Amino acid sequence: MTKLTSRNAKIRLVDGTGTPWYLELDLDKGDFTGPLGVPRQEEKLVLNRGTMDAVAHYMQGADDKLMEPVNISFSAMLRDDAQTVNILDWIKAMNDALATAVNSNTLVSTQADTQRDGANNNPIFADSNKGTCNVEYLMETGVTDLGFKYAEVYFAEDQISLSESDEEIVISMTGRVYGTITRITDFTSGSDVEA
Q: How do the domains of the chain map onto residue ranges?
A: 6-39+67-192
- How does the average pLDDT of the chain come out, rounded? 92
pTM of the full predicted structure? Answer: 0.91
Burial of 83 (0-12, 13-18, 19+ CB in 10 A): buried
Spatial distance between the Cα atoms of 14 and 187, rounded to a whole number of angstroms: 9
Residue 7 in this model has a pLDDT that exceeds 80:
no
Bridge partners for 148 per DSSP: 137, 183
Q: Is 107 exposed, middle or buried (0-12, 13-18, 19+ CB in 10 A)?
A: buried
Task: State the Cα–Cα distance between residues 170 and 76, nearest whole angstrom.
Answer: 6
Which tens digit of pLDDT belongs to each residue from 132-184? 999 999 988 878 899 999 999 999 999 999 999 888 889 999 999 999 999 99
Q: How high is the pLDDT of residue 78? A: 87
Phi/psi zone of residue 105: left (φ > 0), alpha (ψ -120 to 50 degrees), beta? beta
State what percent of residues in the chain have pLDDT above 70: 95
Alpha carbon distance 32, 17 (integer Å)? 25
> C-alpha dihedral over 137, 13, 157, 110, to 10 degrees?
-110
Residues 174, 161 contacting (CB under 8 angstroms): no
Q: How far apart are CA 110 and CA 22, in angstroms?
A: 12
CATH class of 6-39+67-192: mainly beta
